[in-house]
Amino acid sequence: MNPLVVERIVKNYGEKTAVNGLSLQVSEGEIYGLLGANGAGKTTTMRMVLGLIYPDEGAIRYNGQAYSKEQLHNLGYLPEERGLYPKVKVNEQLVYLAQLRGMSKKAAEVSLKKWLEQFEVSEYYGKRIEELSKGNQQKIGFIAAVIHDPQILILDEAFSGLDPVNVELLKAAVKGLRDSGKTILFSTHRMEHVEELCRNITIMHRSNPVVQGDVKAIKKQYPRERVMLATDRDVTGLETLEGVRYVTKHENVTEIGIASEDAAKRILHHAQGQADIERFELMQPTLNEIFIKTVGERHE
């Protein structure tokens, strides 16, 4: 029994359909990626999972049960824009939020201190949020989502607007939570995070789930359409080869777009005739490409 199961949910706002028949399952110790352009239906989906709004059709099950108020203690939520009181001290508001999710004051204090230590920001314990930098505010927001040790975590654009150091820090925390068996629903439009963190993904486009499944499997479905070539001397005439769509020379490597994998062999053959090959790689499509392809293709 997966902790979070979404079954063919549909949500209409008047004439407009916001989410159209989305199904997904997130197991224990898994980060599930929910991708999509702005307005694709991610936020509506998350709000339904959080029980803020109810699906018109379909169902959402938490450990096999329908939504109820008791589930609130099981859920942790990090909104896209840090949801914190700017003028209230860190300890006061985090303990308050933890108490609202059914934690005792004492336990909340302990948990808060532990998390502040993990993020190496113990000195912010008694500071107001408005005094902190954006990255540190995001850390506090993250702590607010996990302080009550929820089983299911919903992270909306958790890493947006952070510097690389803080991204790594939060990423490590998310991975830690995953390894401790949490069920995490993760939305973003930063594909490199998805490739690193998520086992399964759904790409949503205009309310519809358009690509779904295991990240590796999805990648395999898409043909390899790029070759990276590095040689000791310049190679000419690549453009004239059959099946070559474009040639882009980067500083140390040449990127060649191909129509089919046959063309790769011709490129290798052609290059070998002119120079010594330092690198030849038939690239797997990145999620970024897949995303742009699926979303872009259906764009009109």
Partner 1 sequence: MSKFWTVVGFTIRNKIKAKSYVISTLILVAIISVVVNLPYMIDKFSSDAPDKIGYLTASTEEATQSSVTPSVVGDQMREYFSKQEHPDYEFVPIENQNSDEANEQKLLDALSNGDIDAYATFEEDGTSFPAMVLHADKVYSETSKANMQAALQSIKTQFALQGLGLTDEQQTALFSQAVVDSVKVDISNGEAVADDTKEKAGALYGAVYLILFLLFMTIMGSGQLIATEITAEKSSRVMEVLITSVSPLTQMFGKIFGMFIVGIGQTALLVAAAAVNLSLPHNESALNNIGVNIKDIPLDVFIYAIAFYLIGYFLFATLYAGVGSLVSRTEDLGQAVMPLMFLNLGGFYIGIFGLNAADASFVKVASFIPFFTPYAMFMRIGMSSVPVWEIMISLAVLLITTFVCGWLSAKIYRTGVLLYGKRPTIKELRKAMKAYKL
Q: Which residues bind partner 1 (CB under 8 A)?
A: 11-14, 47, 50-54, 56, 69, 72, 75, 77, 79-88, 92-93, 96-97, 99-101, 144-145
Least Å distance, CB 291 to partner 1, is 26
Return the number of other C-beta atoms located less than 10 Å from residue 247's C-beta: 17
61 touches 7 (CB < 8 A): yes
- Nearer to partner 1 by C-beta: 108 or 218? 108
Q: What angle do CA 130, 174, 164 make, to 5 degrees?
A: 60
Nearer to partner 1, 106 or 233 (CB): 106
User: Least Å distance between CB 53 and partner 1?
Assistant: 5
Residue 14: CB minimum distance to partner 1, A: 5
Which pair of tokens denotes residue 138?
């995001």
Distance CA(281)–CA(195), nearest Å, equals: 19
> Which residue's CB is nearer to partner 1, number 80 or number 255?
80
- Is 93 or 166 the residue whose CB approaches partner 1 more closely? 93
Residue 47 or 226 having the CB closest to partner 1: 47
The minimum distance between CB 84 and partner 1, in angstroms, equals 6
What does the buried/exposed string (b/e) look like for 250-275 if buried means 16 or more CB atoms within 10 Å of the residue's CB? eeeebebebeeeebbeebeebbeeee
Half-sphere exposure of 238 (CA within 13 A, CB side): 29
C-beta of 170: minimal distance to partner 1 in Å?
A: 17
Amino acid at 118: Q
